[in-house]
Structure 1
Amino acid sequence: MMDKRPVRFFNTTGPCRPEMHYMLPPEERLGGAQLHRYIRDQLYWVLHAPRQTGKTTFLQSWARDINVASNNGDSDRAIACYVSVERCQGVTETEKAMPGICEAIQEYASSSDLPVPEISTIDTNSILSNILRNWSALVAPKPLVVLFDEVDVLQGKPLISFLRQLRGGFAIRGVGQFPASIALVGMRDLKDYITAAKDGVAPNPGSPFNIKEDSATLSNFQKDDVNRLFAQRTQETGQQITQDALDYVYEQSKGQPWIVNSLFKRATMRILDEDSAETVTIEHIQEARKQMIEARETHLDALAYRLEDPAIRSVMETLITGEPDTRLAAGEPFRLCLDLGLVTIERGSPVVANPIYREVIARQITFATQMAIPEPEWKWQKSDGTLDMENLLREFQDFWRNNSEIWEQQADYPEAFPHLLLMAFLQRVTNGHGRIEREYAAGRGRMDLAVEFNGSWDIIEVKLLRQNRTFEMVQAEGKKQILRYRDNFAPTPGKRALRSSDGGAADCYLVIFDRRSGKLPWSERLKWIQDEEITVVGC
């Protein structure tokens, strides 16, 4: 009997292959890159984009296309080879890194059925340039194109030597002499690596690689791309997906290719059977999102690891608190976060790149705190099974009074400590039974949380009371903001109504942390003020 299971699937591990994976041509997302001109005019160029956005898929696909055209066309068509230098990660000695790159060239040439060049010298200052000359001579009369991937793993002296040897051959590039075109590919633009290799000194006209023509990047999927990607599965298997589900995939991922594929893969191969014809709904995608975050898949685990970098921490702390910082976007840490795909600019403000990253970041930086919070013994559920947010926040006030001053001394994010402790407290209760939607961005002056538990919603806004402001001023400002957030927040695309346990509008809680010097006694700092629309919680 013929196996009716789909041949292709949504890929989340390694480069995509069109015969195995649903995929879109990555070159469509290259923006202004002029691929034909790079070869025709013998240009060196840079491609940089975050991990798992399709760089390697593009490079390998483009190399294949170049070689197919060369084999079917004129003798002057180029020969291309993809070469990853990932094996040199962590290698700080030029004497080890340069031979390693040359060995990679030999291995990739062999696996691509191309002539394999010899290593003709042991001098690490010329070993790379010599093998590239030898290789160019072997493929003549065709020009050689080399696509170097994972260049960002090179550091310090090996990076400088690598670039100097490429630059040294640039003047003689051409058929039989030196690669006519070279692409250097990684997560960051090349000037950033040069700066790092020179101990923070910015590149100047005498830098070892001032010969690049362009710096191109791969963009995320557009909304229509997400639809087109799943449409391939529909065409092959007949399986449908609702428009709500497609909209939710894009809203949660903002088109990040790995996230899109991961949500589709989990929905079609784990939540539903891989040969199921059942329509994929928004509920399936929501469950896929939950599983993906809890499983800490490799991509998200690498994101969490990045948070150990002090430079990235400084950016995240500003985003979490929402405090204005005129220096943020101009600083090197923010540019690093942009290049890594952790943040973006949305409506003129720096924000975390997508809701799933917001969730992972918040969970990661509050995990240790959450584990240190004792299991709640107090009543945190109502008789109908929904969350007793009033009792929870009163307990938090007690917890803040008893623990905050000691715990803050150990905090990795001192400015965002109040926000993180409150989120950890909420997560300790809701973990596995509810969800927390988080909104935070630089310059907002607040963090907004929407907490769902057994179908009932509560809205929490967190604000800081700083010097030269009064509690009443922050309260008045926060009330307007939280009601606007409640009215505009959509838990799923197109659905804006948030309901409390009694069926009315979601309850709103404005939590204000007093961060002024010379703090008031606890009896005056802890407040509980209710009106018809919101509850104000002073801490």
Structure 2
Amino acid sequence: MKLIDEFDGIPSTVAKNFLHTLRRIYLSKTPNRCPYSVGIVGVKSITQLNDDRSISPFNIQDEFALPNFTREQVHRLLEQYTDEVGQTFAPKAHKSLHKQTGGQPFLVNRMAQCLTEELGIGRKETISVAHFEMAHKKILNEQNVHLSHLTTNIHPRFQSLLMEICSSDAGIPFNLRNEYISELVTYGVLKGGTDGFCEIANPIYQYCIVQTFQPLLNGLERKYH
């Protein structure tokens, strides 16, 4: 089996040629030196990427999304570190880590990496909420690949919607039939709240979105504080 990561980042002409090649191999029934199966990894599914309707999404055995970590899963992840190293986390640090990251896997692991490797906390010292706040501040102000990818790939056409969600008290109904909302959910930026309105996926994303889109001239930035 072959795995191709970040398939949705491949230029569309190249992706089309690749899919046509797979289709020709499939139809020829050629058994020799051909991939038995291909796994495509990316934000969008193959059906969302396929603009060429002459290529059917044939023989898709399964497709699945990787969900965010639950609070319990974050707790177990940190416990594995404690079991291995002996360093403990304060219960409130567990809670804060999950709340601020929303369980997003990269953010959870980046936060844990910062806490355990970069702040100089002694192994015999319990990782506290104060330590978490230091790591949180560091991550909000760093240029890591994940957050840079988030902000550079949010198309400007989403600006009004995202800033309205961030700043409005009225709320925007969570409607997956809306093209913009559906696409932002696909990219992991939005989620539906328990009240039926749109929410930014986690507070770290919200901070980055506001920092990216808020106006900087004539004092207009106050609108979004």
Residue of 47, 50, 57 corresponding to 1:191:
47
Task: Please give the secondary structure, in 1, of the residue aligned with 2:62.
Answer: strand
Contact 1:252 1:356 in 2 (8 A): yes
1:330-349 matches, cutoff 5 A: 330-347=177-194, 348-349=196-197
In the alignment, which of 109, 121, 134 is matched to residue 287 of structure 1? 134
C-alpha distance after superposition, 1:249-271 (max 9, x if no partner): 11111111111112112222222
Q: How many equivalent residue pairs?
A: 223
What is the DSSP-based 3-state SS (H/G/I as helix, E as strand, rest coil) of the residue aligned with 2:41? Answer: strand
Alpha-carbon shift at residue 246 of structure 1 (Å): 0.4
The structure carrying a bigger strand percent of its residues is 1
SS at match of 1:351: strand
Q: Which residue of the other structure, out of 311, 323, 334, is the alignment partner of 2:157?
A: 311
Matched, 1:211 2:59: yes
| Match of residue 222, structure 2, among 421, 425, 437 | 421
SS at match of 1:329: coil
Q: Which has the higher contact order (CA 8 A, sep 6+)?
A: 2
Residue correspondence of structure 1 range 64-213 to structure 2 within 5 A: 145-171=1-27, 176=32, 178-195=34-51, 198=52, 203=53, 206-213=54-61
> 1:313-339 deviations in whole A, cap 9, x for unaligned?
243144233556669531322222112
Query: Contact 1:240/1:278 (CA < 8 Å) preserved in 2?
Result: yes
The counterpart of 2:115, out of the listed 255, 267, 270, is: 267
Alignment-derived partner of residue 124 in structure 2: 277
Q: Which amino acid aligns with 1:313?
A: Q
Equivalent in 237, 247, 253 of residue 85 of structure 2: 237
Find the aligned partners of 1:207 and 1:217 in 2 and give their Cα distance: 23
The residue identity in structure 2 corresponding to 1:262 is R
CA distance in 2, matches of 1:315, 1:155: 27
Q: Aligned partners of 2:6 and 2:114: how far apart in 1?
A: 28
Conservation of the 8 A alpha-carbon contact between 2:115 and 2:131: yes
Identical pairs, percent: 23
Task: Report whether the alignment pairs 1:300 with 2:147.
Answer: yes
Question: In the alignment, residue 277 of structure 1 is paired with which amino acid?
Answer: K
Judged with a 3 Å threshold, the aligned counterparts in structure 2 of structure 1 residues 292 and 327 are, in CA distance, closer, same or farther, namely: closer
For 2:33 and 2:87, how far apart are their aligned partners in 1? 53
Shift of residue 342 of structure 1? Answer: 0.9
Change (3 A) 1:173 1:338: farther
CA contact (8 A) 1:254 1:353 kept: yes
Structure 2 vs 1, CA of residues 350 and 174 (structure 1 numbering), >3 Å: closer, same or farther?
A: farther
SS in 2 for 1:212: coil
Give the secondary structure class of the aligned counterpart of 1:344.
strand
Structure 1 residue 172: Cα displacement = 5.1
Secondary structure at the aligned position of 1:183 is classed as strand
Q: CA-to-partner distance for each residue in 1:388-441, whole Å, 9 max, x for gaps?
A: xxxxxxxxxxx7xxxxxxx7xxxxxxxxxxxx5333xx5xxxxxxxxxxxxxxx
Return the letter of the residue paired with 1:310: P
Give unpaired runs (5+ residues) of structure 2. Answer: none
Provide the C-alpha distance between the structure 2 equivalents of 1:248 and 1:324, rounded to a whole number of angstroms.
25
Q: TM-score, normalised by structure 2?
A: 0.86
Q: Secondary structure at the match of 2:127?
A: coil
Letter in 2 for 1:319: I
Name the SS of the counterpart of 1:218 in structure 2. Answer: coil
CA deviation profile, 1:114-142 (whole Å, cap 9, x unmatched): xxxxxxxxxxxxxxxxxxxxxxxxxxxxx
Amino acid corresponding to residue 212 of structure 1 in structure 2? I
Taking the aligned partners of 2:171 and 2:197, their CA distance within structure 1 comes to 10
Which one has the largest radius of gyration?
1
1:187 shift after superposition: 1.3
Q: Which amino acid aligns with 2:187?
A: L
1:359 is aligned to 2:207:
yes
Give the Å deviation of 1:311. 3.4
Once the two structures are superposed, what CA deviation does each residue of 1:477-525 show, in whole Å capped at 9, x if it has no partner? xxxxxxxxxxxxxxxxxxxxxxxxxxxxxxxxxxxxxxxxxxxxxxxxx
2:32 is paired with a residue whose SS is coil
Aligned Cα root-mean-square deviation (Å): 2.5
CA distance in 1, matches of 2:205, 2:174: 23
Counterpart CA distance in 2 for 1:254 and 1:173 is 46
Equivalent in 222, 233, 241 of residue 70 of structure 2: 222
